[in-house]
Structure 1
Amino acid sequence: MRPFEGGEAEMLDLSDAPAVHEVAVTRRLLVLIVAYEAEATVASVIARIPAVVPGVNVSILVLDDGSLDQTFEAACAASTPHPVHVLRNPVNQGYGGNQKIGYQFAVANGFDIVALIHGDGQYGPEHLPRLIAPLLAGEAEAVLGSRMMDRRGALRGGMPLYKFLGNRILTEIQNGITGAKLHEYHTGYRIYSVEILKKLPFHRNTNNFHFDTEIILQLMSLSARITELSIPTYYGNEVCRVNGLTYAAKVVATTLRWRMRASGLLQDSKYPFAAGPAVYQPKLDFPSTHSWVVDAVPHGSTVFDIGCSDGHVAASLAAKGCRVIGVDQVPPADPRPFARFLMHDLEHGLPDPEERIDYILALDVIEHLRVPERLLEEIHVISSRNRGARLIISTGNVAFFIVRFMLLFGKFNYGVRGILDFTHTRLFTFASLSRALRDSAFSVERTVGIPAPFPLALGRNRIARALLWLNQGLIRISRGLFAFQMLMVCRPVPSLDWLLEDAVKEALKRTSASVPAATEEVSTGRA
């Protein structure tokens, strides 16, 4: 036994751990026992760890979280053939905080696998060989010992009915939010690859009981392979220190926040997605700016698509016979929808399409520019060449009720997508966008409130469709409050050159019969 208490943190040399079947053993397993006031059970838990766990060298770390009883001493006196380290937090760190210290120990001391069990004996150490097998075989990076795979067994094992129902309900809610199909999020019997732990910012997680949910969500963020294996349930005389309602509320809030981060609607560095979805995804199969534009632009139109991204809208317009000229600072993955593509940074001005344009699209563009008014003025010049041309422009509504609600509580959370996208430098309301268009010599003919893209956040399912329907109904009540985006159809107000040209033409028309020579010297001033 190696009791270790107090003092400064140090690297512990565990290389002298006795090996079992030395030729076959290549991995090092740390059994992490988190304990708080478990003097009656912790020694038994240590003793029950199998003497031989095939495929690994076993070491044990007991972390006493500032117990007021003799947990530390009981752990030091326990009997086991494995090397044991007993640490004690001088200040209680909480269930999650205790795990953080244990995982840091595993990382710092070069372990390959860490197995979490509780010092109260609720999870049987005898099942370790079976639970670590998927990691040894390279089939998983995390294994959860689930009590709910055999639901009747959970009740037979003494799980109180209220906990059984709460566990099932919470798990169903979480699966609905994450899209996963886990049997249980709330087990305390977990096996992790230390390599995957190195990739998780678990130090940012809560110190409370919903740490277990946060680390599962972090694994999902990295698309880690998670395996569930059934374990028996045992409830004895252990003291429950969890407030069920508070725990449930925090679990649901945490999972919803993860979903919003996964959807790009807010930023949370706790969840580092390995390769998240494309920032700009097609929104053609539900009410959105994309679907609205595709329906509105007539067949055969010539379209100038400013900030065309990967050409989701262009492809649909090309399919209905439109000629699309695209412009963006990065070429599209598939250039086929475009008749022409102009690679250009809009911060340096708008390139001239050098064609007669029927529709100019600026969908979710102006919020990215430092001086969007300059772009609007340049669009006006191009649109003035065709008196029937129209500008269709869209941007996020910063007065959306959720943003207002967050501001009420002092929150302004940027994300990788949405109204508060990291790349947005200018934010608009319906009134401020209308004013910017008016100041740039455009007349707004139609204004449309666009609902939030629930299918992108929640998937194409009934819940998303219901929320879309609800959001559309609320927009009819208050567009400025409930529209996630705003879309405006504008016509260019005639410029002075345009009006002068009209005056000259009208004069020529009226005087050509009587005094044709009088108009020969008149000039419009145009090149």
Structure 2
Amino acid sequence: MSTVLVITPTYNERDNLPGVVARIRAAVPAACVLVVDDNSPDGTGLVADGLDGVHVLHRERKQGLGAAYLAGFRWGLERGFDLLVEIDADGSHPPERLPAMLEAAERADLVIGSRWAPGGRVANWPRRRELLSRLANGYVRRALRLGVADATGGFRVYRAAALERLLLGGVESRGYCFQVDLTLRAVRQGCAVAEVPITFVDRTSGASKMSAGVLFEALWRVTVWAWSPRRRPGGRAAPTADEPSLPPRTGGMSLT
């Protein structure tokens, strides 16, 4: 049976985190949960410490979504997990869809919980935000020639062996573009990519970290990748000081 690590990065999510963790456990009781907290001013890290059976990585400062996930990936790969899950802490990603996504991961290297695949949808989003997301995904899909409906989606399952290959050489993307970066790497490397439709529900508590500026910065980077193939992600860059090379996987798990 595959071992599963669910990684949720947090920054000022103290009101949402306990409920999300409870839903994850109800959906996949055997999964381990890792919270990666970027020193949240609201004390989210302390809330995470108080949740039974939850592992917590406390980071010194906010460095972006991608950096938080990379830290979580390293933690999980070092401990030999077979499947690594990305999920937001704000409740927008439905943990109840995890069983279907994990089942799909038996045949795929990357599974995306997709808002825009047939059967997927969003709820409680302002029309303007939905339009921006649809346009952004359409642009990414066409500019990079990806056959993926939701390349920017952040609800994902990676097979560990595939993830190790995708991360070889380091990943420079940190924010909104992080998901596109890994999707492009997966497609270019011939990984099997599957999409499972989900209903994405807008958060009811706390403030979104997304802004038009962040979105357009990401689309600018996609444009550079589209027009300059040599600058596309693919493992050519050396790891940064905050992103050391990933160690080899160990055979078994040693949770701390």
TM-score (norm 1): 0.42
Indicate the structure (1 or 2) with the bigger Cα radius of gyration. Answer: 1
Is structure 2 residue 28 aligned with structure 1 residue 53?
A: yes
- 1:70 maps to what in 2? 43
1:181 Cα deviation (Å)?
3.0
1:228 Cα deviation (Å)?
0.8
1:206 Cα deviation (Å)?
2.0
TM-score (norm 2): 0.83
> 1-side partners of 2:164 and 2:76: how far apart?
10
Give the residue type in structure 2 aligned to 1:192.
Y
Q: Cα distance 1:184–1:152, how it changes in 2: closer, same or farther (>3 A)?
A: closer
1:233 Cα deviation (Å)?
1.9
Matches within 5 A, 1:74-223: 74-79=47-52, 83-136=53-106, 139-149=107-117, 153-154=121-122, 157-201=123-167, 203-223=170-190
Look up the SS of the partner of 2:108 in the other structure: coil
Number of residues paired by the alignment? 234
Look up the SS of the partner of 2:153 in the other structure: coil
1:93 Cα deviation (Å)?
1.8
> 2-side partners of 1:134 and 1:152: how far apart?
16
Does structure 2 retain, via aligned residues, the 8 Å contact 1:142–1:193? yes
> 1-side partners of 2:38 and 2:173: how far apart?
15
1:120 Cα deviation (Å)?
1.3
1:52 Cα deviation (Å)?
6.4
Look up the SS of the partner of 1:133 in the other structure: helix
Q: Cα distance 1:208–1:52, how it changes in 2: closer, same or farther (>3 A)?
A: closer
Residue 5 (structure 2) aligned to one of 21, 26, 30: 30
> 1-side partners of 2:27 and 2:132: how far apart?
37
Q: Cα distance 1:48–1:152, how it changes in 2: closer, same or farther (>3 A)?
A: closer
Return 108-117 or 215-224, whichever deviates more. 215-224
Look up the SS of the partner of 2:69 in the other structure: helix
> 1-side partners of 2:89 and 2:120: how far apart?
25
- 2:248 maps to what in 1? none
1:150 Cα deviation (Å)?
5.7
Residue 234 (structure 2) aligned to one of 261, 268, 271: 271
Look up the SS of the partner of 2:104 in the other structure: helix
> 2-side partners of 1:135 and 1:119: how far apart?
22
- 2:225 maps to what in 1? 258
> 2-side partners of 1:174 and 1:209: how far apart?
12
Give the residue type in structure 2 aligned to 1:66.
N
Look up the SS of the partner of 2:113 in the other structure: strand
- Taking only aligned residues, the RMSD between alpha carbons, in angstroms, comes to 2.2
1:51 Cα deviation (Å)?
4.2
Does structure 2 retain, via aligned residues, the 8 Å contact 1:217–1:258? no
Q: Cα distance 1:207–1:200, how it changes in 2: closer, same or farther (>3 A)?
A: same
1:259 Cα deviation (Å)?
3.2
Does structure 2 retain, via aligned residues, the 8 Å contact 1:35–1:65? yes
String of CA shifts for 1:174-217, please: whole Å, max 9, x gaps: 11112223222222211111111111237322222221111111
- 2:246 maps to what in 1? none
Look up the SS of the partner of 1:228 in the other structure: strand
1:78 Cα deviation (Å)?
2.7
Overall identity of the aligned pairs, in % = 23
> 2-side partners of 1:53 and 1:37: how far apart?
25
Of structures 1 and 2, the one scoring higher in RCO (CA 8 A, sep 6+) is 2
Look up the SS of the partner of 2:162 in the other structure: helix
Q: Cα distance 1:99–1:37, how it changes in 2: closer, same or farther (>3 A)?
A: same
Matches within 5 A, 1:304-453: none
> 2-side partners of 1:52 and 1:248: how far apart?
31
> 2-side partners of 1:87 and 1:152: how far apart?
32
Q: Cα distance 1:36–1:198, how it changes in 2: closer, same or farther (>3 A)?
A: same
Q: Cα distance 1:27–1:217, how it changes in 2: closer, same or farther (>3 A)?
A: same
Does structure 2 retain, via aligned residues, the 8 Å contact 1:47–1:78? no
Does structure 2 retain, via aligned residues, the 8 Å contact 1:217–1:255? no
> 1-side partners of 2:235 and 2:68: how far apart?
22
Q: Cα distance 1:150–1:267, how it changes in 2: closer, same or farther (>3 A)?
A: closer
> 2-side partners of 1:75 and 1:126: how far apart?
21
Give the residue type in structure 1 aligned to 2:61.
V
